[in-house]
Amino acid sequence: MRNGGKRKEELVAEYLAGEMSYREMEERYGVSSSTLQRWVKAAGVGMAMRPGGDKPGGDDLGSEVKRLREELRKAELHAKLLNAMIDIAEDRFEIPIRKKHGARR
């Protein structure tokens, strides 16, 4: 089997990422599309993860990815802002605000 050295789980994850269809993966990795379908089904995820069916992506999936990326970007910005505010408060008031890690006694 010429699957490019990828494990079954990696192939399933690649399929679920929506980049290729079963047929495209069959041509690329030499694993039959029916085997790939069986692996995806056995992983317990199925077609609900890929609204476009056997076709890569899908409008619903694409818009969901965009929405999640924007949400992640906002959360990362929020975390940076909070860290900057804590840094400023620690400098200005000269007190440690962040909890120190270590064992309690």
pLDDT in tens, 65-75: 888 899 999 99
For the chain, give the mean pLDDT: 80
pLDDT band at 62 (very low <50, low <70, confident <90, very high): confident
The residues, ordered by sequence, that sit 6+ positions from 80 with a Cβ below 8 Å of its Cβ are none
The span from the CA of 3 to the CA of 24, in Å, is 12
pLDDT of residue 51: 45
The span from the CA of 100 to the CA of 105, in Å, is 13
Q: Assess whether pLDDT exceeds 80 at residue 2.
A: no
User: Could you give the residue ranges of the DSSP H alpha helices within 1-105?
Assistant: 8-16, 22-29, 33-42, 59-93
67: amino acid identity, one letter: R
Domain boundaries, the chain: 1-56, 58-95
Q: Is the pTM of this model over 0.85?
A: no
